[in-house]
Structures are given as structure tokens and as C-alpha cells.
Amino acid sequence: VKINGYRIEIPEVEAALNAYNGIKQSYVLARNLKNEDNNYNDFLVAYYTLETGHAVDKNILIQFLSHRLPEYMLPKYFIELDKIPLTINGKIDNKSLPEPVLE
């Protein structure tokens, strides 16, 4: 995937997320949304599930990832899910993933 001219390896971002203590499963998706100038903004969204009894402080998670990934590979949004939605075929259902709340 290319975002802002940088080549990003999604599995590398997912591996860094999965290395964080308490994250059970992660899925990273490249999204693009129109801004008010009718230009598209490309960014990464990280979806993750937690192991039982764990909580994640997103600021600490971002700090953890920034030591393992270059800044351009850091997801812009982090969304915690109870479970990653799957299709009937067992693949991740991108359409069922929630949209990030834009800041």
C-alpha cells in the first residue's frame, strides 16, 4: 500500500501491534476519505482485540509502535473490537468494520 508516497507493508504494522502485551489479534486497513476540499486523505486504521483482562492505553500503544515503526507507518486511528468480523468464508469482513470517528 502507498500512502503519501511511502510504501507501507501492512503485515509489518500488524506484527508490531501483535507484539504489544494484551493485544490478541490485529488488522490494519488503509482508508481514504474526502476532506472539505474534496481531496482524498489516505491513512491507516488499526483494529484490534484484547486478551481477557487486559486494557490498552492508546498513548502508550502509539509510543510502543513509534519505537518499532517509522512515523509514516503508524496508524492514525485505533479501534478496539470485541472480535474481528469474518465473512462466511472465514476472511475478514472489511464492510463490517466500523469507520473511524474523524477528529
Q: Tell me the per-residue pLDDT of 65-98, one tens digit each, with 9 for 90 and over.
A: 999 999 999 999 999 999 999 999 999 999 999 9
pLDDT, the chain, mean: 91
Q: How confident is the model at residue 41 (pLDDT cuts 50, 70, 90)?
A: confident
Q: Which residues of 17-48 are buried (b: 16+ CB within 10 A; e: fewer)?
A: beebeebebbbbbebeeeeeeeeeeebbbbbb
The pLDDT assigned to 38 comes to: 63
Mean pLDDT across the stretch 26-38? 81
Percent of the chain residues past pLDDT 90, beyond the cut? 77
The pLDDT assigned to 12 comes to: 97
Residues 34, 40 contacting (CB under 8 angstroms): yes
